[in-house]
């Protein structure tokens, strides 16, 4: 330390000198730096002030995100007899079960479905299964990769993000199967279209261009849920059990097995409308099946909510990231 710097510190009260018979002790105290934002904001916040910097840092690790996603895809079906065929078998089995339930209870005779029940169930279950699997896998991404979290430095958000993105392969296979079934109805059963409200041949329509938009919004909302769930899973292992129960109950308050138009108001209808998944699922149904412009009021609400929830979840995850290596 130079003499000028020592003099400046001494005048500011940060440097003190104490003499004794044996030695001369030099003590220096550094004043606490003022936080860049209030302490209460740093503890209880919704959005991080360094959000842009974190996104830039994430952009520099896109190859790591790609590598982890590819590793997850390969590891999921490794040493599996059916392999990626499970991506087709699962929605087919669920569609068969739900179709049998709806036909058995004669729900299709009391509810005006816009298309044949199997086609309706297969379409919406394709997107719901993507959301359910992504949340289930992503919520445990940090705990299941604790060796990486504790030994290697990298943006921790790439782990839950890769757990979500690897489910897009299953979604693509399921959606391709839906397109085949959709075209099959037009080729083998052309007379069925005349019995439904929207009488049209079952072929792709120009409104289908909205589907990638809703898939992107659904992915953003899923990432927001996964960011919150994976961060809390580090502290409380019960979160995974709560996620499984919550997804099961969430299915019944989301118009997957029944059209939203069947609700006639009341508290149940309000609860379903406020569900952010309702607008996303119904928007998919409007553009793929009903062939309508999908941006209705509840759809816009869900779109805005999805973006906001993603940002809130990402900021919460980055705020807790510093403690993961010590706790996990």
DSSP labels, 31-71: PPPPPSS-HHHHHS-SS-TTHHHHHHHHHTTHHHHHHHHHH
Name the residue with higher pLDDT: 22 or 32.
Answer: 22
Examine the pLDDT at 247 and tell me if it is beyond 90.
yes
Question: Structure pTM?
Answer: 0.80
Does the residue 154 lie in any domain? yes
Does the residue 13 lie in any domain? no
Per-residue pLDDT tens digits for 265-286? 677 788 889 999 999 999 999 8
Examine the pLDDT at 217 and tell me if it is beyond 90.
yes
Residue 198 contacts by C-beta under 8 Å, 6 or more apart in sequence?
114, 115, 289, 290, 291
Does the residue 66 lie in any domain? no
Examine the pLDDT at 40 and tell me if it is beyond 70.
no
Q: What is the pLDDT of residue 220?
A: 96
Does the residue 34 lie in any domain? no
Per-residue pLDDT tens digits for 67-116? 999 988 888 777 666 667 777 888 888 889 988 888 888 777 777 777 88
The residue range of the domain holding 125 is 50-55+78-327
**Total structural domains within the chain:** 1
Q: What is the pLDDT of residue 149?
A: 81
**In the block, which residue shows the tokens 């705990």?**
143
Does the residue 310 lie in any domain? yes
């Amino acid at each position: 330390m130079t003499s000028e710097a020592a003099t400046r510190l001494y005048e500011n009260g940060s440097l003190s000198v104490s003499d004794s018979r044996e030695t001369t002790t030099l003590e220096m105290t550094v004043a606490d730096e003022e936080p860049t934002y209030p302490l209460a904001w740093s503890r209880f916040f919704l959005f991080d002030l360094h959000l842009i910097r974190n996104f830039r840092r994430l952009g520099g690790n896109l190859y790591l995100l790609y590598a982890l996603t590819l590793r997850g895809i390969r590891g999921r079906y490794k040493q599996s007899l059916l392999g990626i065929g499970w991506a087709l078998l699962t929605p087919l089995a669920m569609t068969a079960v739900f179709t049998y339930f709806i036909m058995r209870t004669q729900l299709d005779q009391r509810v005006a479905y816009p298309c044949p029940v199997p086609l309706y169930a297969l379409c919406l279950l394709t997107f719901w299964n993507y959301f359910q699997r992504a949340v289930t896998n992503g919520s445990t991404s940090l705990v299941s990769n604790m060796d990486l979290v504790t030994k290697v430095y990298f943006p921790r958000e790439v782990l839950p993000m890769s757990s979500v993105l690897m489910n897009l392969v299953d979604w693509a296979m399921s959606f391709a199967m839906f397109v085949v079934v959709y075209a099959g109805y037009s080729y083998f059963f052309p007379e069925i279209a005349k019995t439904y409200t929207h009488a049209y041949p079952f072929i792709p329509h120009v409104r289908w261009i909205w589907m990638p938009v809703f898939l992107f919004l659904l992915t953003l909302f899923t990432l927001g849920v996964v960011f919150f769930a994976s961060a809390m899973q580090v502290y409380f292992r019960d979160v995974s059990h709560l996620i499984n129960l919550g997804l099961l109950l969430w299915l019944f308050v989301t118009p997957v097995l029944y059209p939203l138009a069947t609700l006639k108001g009341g508290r149940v209808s309000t609860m379903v409308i406020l569900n952010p998944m309702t607008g996303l699922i119904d928007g998919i149904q409007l553009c793929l099946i009903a062939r309508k412009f999908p941006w209705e009021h509840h759809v816009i609400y869900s779109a805005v909510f999805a973006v906001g929830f993603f940002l809130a979840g990402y900021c919460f995850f980055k705020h807790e990231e510093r403690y993961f290596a010590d706790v996990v």
